[in-house]
A and B are shown apart, each in its own frame.
Chain A
Amino acid sequence: MRWPLLLVLLFLLAFPPIASAMGLEFYQGLLTKIMILALAASSLNLILGYGGMVSFGHAAYFGLGAYTAAILMREGVSSGWVIWAVAVGLSALLALLIGAICLRTRGVYFIMITLAFAQMIYYLVVSFKQYGGEDGLRARRPEFGLFELTDTALYYLSLAVLAGALYLLHRLINARFGRVLQAIRENESRALALGYPVYRFQLLAFVLAGALAGLAGVLMAHYTQYASPNLLAWQQSGHLMMMVILGGVGQFWGGVLGAAALSIVEEVLQDLTIHWQLGVGLILLAVVLFAPRGLAGLWRREP
C-alpha cells in the first residue's frame, strides 16, 4: 500500500511544472478540483462510512465555507488565514448545532432531518440579496502573506491540505476514537452497554466532518473565485454522497477514489457528448449492480 501511495504523491508534486512545460494547465485545474472534492468526500466518509451516519446535508458545511470566504472578502477581510479560521470555525459550529438535534433520530429519519437543515441553510443564504441571492457571490482570492495564491499555489495548497487531512483521518480512524466510532456503527446498543458515550462520539465525528467540509468549501471558493448557491443545494449533498458510495463506503480511500473517478468520468463524457449524464448514470448503475463495495472494494477483498 505504501509504494503506490508514494508514487502518486510524487506524481502530484511533480505535475505542475510538467504540465506548464507541456501546455496541460487544464489538467492542473482539474486535479485541483478533484483534490478539493476528495477532501469534502473524505470528510463525509468519516461520518457516513465509519460512523454509519447517513448525512444528506453535507453541502451545508461545504457551501457555508465557500460563502464565508466570499462574504468576508466582500466585507474587506483579505487575510487568507483569518478567512480559513472563521470558515472552519463557523462550519464546525453549524455542524455542532445541527448534529446535536439530528443525532437524536436514526435511520431514514436522520437522512431526512439532515436534509431539512441543509435546505433551511440554503434558503436563508439565498435570501440575502446583498450577498448575491440566487446569483451567487464573486470571491476574489485572499492574501496569504507568505505566497501569492496563483493557480499553481492553490494546487499545492489543496494538495497539502488534502494530505494533512487524510493523515489526520487515518490516525483518527485507527485510534481509540475511530474504533469506538466503528463499534457504534456495527452495534449501537452494545457500544452503549459497554459504557461508551455514544452520542458524544458521534457528535464529535459530525463536527469534525463539518469542519473539514467547510475547509473544502473555502478552497472551492478560491478555486472558482465564486460562491455559488449550487454548493449549498441538496444536489451537492447527493453528489458528495455519490462519490463516497462510488469510491467505497467506510473504505479509507473511498472518498478520494470516488471524487477522482466521478470527476474524471464527467469530464471525459462531457467532451464526448452533450448527453454525458446518460453515461454517468449507466456507469453508476453498473457499479451498484456489479461492484457492491465501491471502487476501493475492488482490490481490497477483506472487509
Chain B
Amino acid sequence: MPPSLLLEQLLNGLQFGLMLFLLAAGLTLVFGIMDMINLAHGSLYMVGAYLTATFVGLLGNFWLAVPLAVLGTALIGMLLELTVLRQLYRRDHLSQVLATFALILIINEVVRIIWGSQPLLLSAPEELSGPVEILPGLNYSAYRLTIIGVGLLVAGLLFWLVNRTRVGMWLRAGASNREMAQAMGVPIRPLFTLLFGVGAGLCAIAGAFLGPILAVQIGMGESILILAFVVIVIGGIGSIKGALVGALLVGIVDTAGRAFLPLLLSQVAPPEVAANLGPALASILIYLLMAAVLFFKPQGLFPART
C-alpha cells in the first residue's frame, strides 16, 4: 500500500471528522447542559445546506452565501428554541425524542414544499475545484483542504469561546452542574437560546461545506445525525474536547475502513466474500468502536459530569 494513498485517506478522514465535530459540538452542549435530546439537530444541517445552495444561486458567490446561510440557520434555530424546544426542557427524554422527531418530519416537509423533492446542485467554488500538490508527487483536492482549514479555524474559535470567555465559563458550569450554575446566577434562559443559535450556525457551516461533497437532499440530516450521536457518546456527553476526539476518531476510522477493509479482506478471503463483506464491515466499524469504548469507559472518553 503506497504511503501517499494512506496520507490521502488520512486527510479525508480528518476533513470528515472536523465537519462531524461542528455538528457534534452543538449537540453535545445542548445534551450536556440542558439534558435535552434534540433529534432535529440534523435538520438544521439540512436547512444550512439548502440555504447555502439558494444563496449561491442568488448571489453566484460561495463565500458570500455561506455567512448568510449560517446567519439564517442560527436565526431559525433560535426561533425553534423560543417556540417549541423551550417547552421540553422539563419533560422526560422520551417526550423530547417524540417532539424532536416530529420536528424532523415537519422541517423535511417544509423543505420539500419550498425547494421540491429533487436534490439541489451545490458545487464547490470554482477556484477550489482543482487539486493542489501538498507534497512532491501527492495531489489533494483543494476544496477538501479548504474544509480542513475552515474546520480547524472554527474548532479553534469554539475552544476559545468555551474555555476563555465568560459565556464559555457559564456553559461549562451548566454542563457540570446545571442547578448549581443557576443558583450562582448564570442567566440560563438567554444562554440556552444563544446556545441553540450557535449550535444551529455550526450545523449550517457543516452543511454548507459538506453539501458539494455529499448531496443536498431531504433526509441528509438524519443519516449524519446518527453519526453525530455516536461521536458524542464516544467522547462523553457535554464535553467539547470529547466531541473533537470522538469526531476525529469516527471520521478517520470510517474513512479508512471504507478505503482499506475491502482491500485487506481480499487478501485473506475469497474475492466473492470480500466484495460482499468488506463494505458491510466498514459500515459496522464505527459502531464496533462505540461499543468497545462504552464497554471500557461507560461514560465515554471525557465525561463532563463527575
Contact = CB atoms under 8 A, between A and B. Distances in A.
A277 B280 contact: no
A112 B102 contact: no
A117 B110 contact: no
Given A120-B284, A285-B84, A108 B98 contact: no
B130 to A, nearest CB: 34
Nearest to B31: A108
Nearest 3 A/B pairs, CB to CB? A127-B280, A281-B105, A284-B102
Interface in A100-159: 101, 104-106, 108-109, 112-113, 115-117, 119-120, 123-124, 126-129
A246 B101 CA distance: 12
Given A278-B109, A284-B99, A288-B88, 9 more contacts: A104-B295, A113-B291, A116-B291, A119-B287, A242-B101, A282-B102, A282-B106, A287-B98, A288-B99
A281 B109 contact: yes
Contacts of B279: 127
A240 to B, nearest CB: 12
Contact of B237 (A105, A108, A245): A108
Interface of B: 31, 37, 84, 87-88, 91, 93-95, 97-99, 101-106, 108-110, 112-113, 222, 226, 229-230, 233, 237, 276-277, 279-280, 283-284, 287-288, 290-291, 294-295, 298-300
B87 A101 contact: no
Nearest to A244: B94
B98 A281 contact: no
Interface string A179-203: 0000000000000000000000000
A113 B294 contact: yes
A249 interface: yes
A277 B109 contact: yes
A277 B105 contact: yes
Nearest to B112: A275
Contacts of B288: 120
Nearest to B233: A112
A257 B297 CA distance: 39
19 contacts: A105-B294, A108-B93, A108-B237, A115-B229, A117-B287, A120-B288, A123-B283, A124-B284, A238-B101, A245-B94, A277-B106, A280-B102, A284-B99, A284-B105, A285-B102, A288-B88, A288-B95, A288-B102, A292-B91
- Give the secondary structure class of A's interface: helix
A241 interface: yes
A284 B87 CA distance: 15
B287 A116 contact: yes
B98 A288 contact: yes
B230 A116 contact: yes
B273 to A, nearest CB: 10
A245 B95 contact: yes
A289 B87 contact: yes
Contacts of A116: 230, 287, 290-291
B224 to A, nearest CB: 13
Interface centre among A54, A108, A116, A242 (most CB of B within 10 A): A116
B37 A108 contact: yes
B175 to A, nearest CB: 14
A235 interface: yes
A109 B99 contact: no
Contact of B280 (A48, A123, A245, A275): A123
B108 A277 contact: yes
Nearest to A128: B276
A108 B103 contact: no
B264 to A, nearest CB: 16
Nearest to A48: B94
A113 to B, nearest CB: 6
Given A116-B230, A116-B291, A278-B109, A124 B101 contact: no
Contact of B287 (A120, A275, A284, A292): A120
A61 interface: no
A241 B280 contact: no
Contact of A109 (B87, B95, B105, B233): B233
Contacts of B103: 281, 285
A67 interface: no
Contacts of A277: 105-106, 108-109
B94 A54 contact: yes
Contacts of A275: 109, 112-113
A232 to B, nearest CB: 13
B109 A285 contact: no
A226 B88 CA distance: 39
A234 interface: yes
A281 B290 contact: no
Interface centre among A112, A238, A287 (most CB of B within 10 A): A112
A275 B110 CA distance: 9
A281 B104 CA distance: 8
Interface string A50-89: 0000100000000000000000000000000000000000
A71 to B, nearest CB: 15
B284 A115 contact: no
Contact of A292 (B95, B101, B105, B276): B95
B148 to A, nearest CB: 27
B113 A285 contact: no
Contacts of A281: 102-106, 109
A238 B288 CA distance: 21
Interface string A245-283: 110010000000000000000000000000101101111
A100 to B, nearest CB: 12
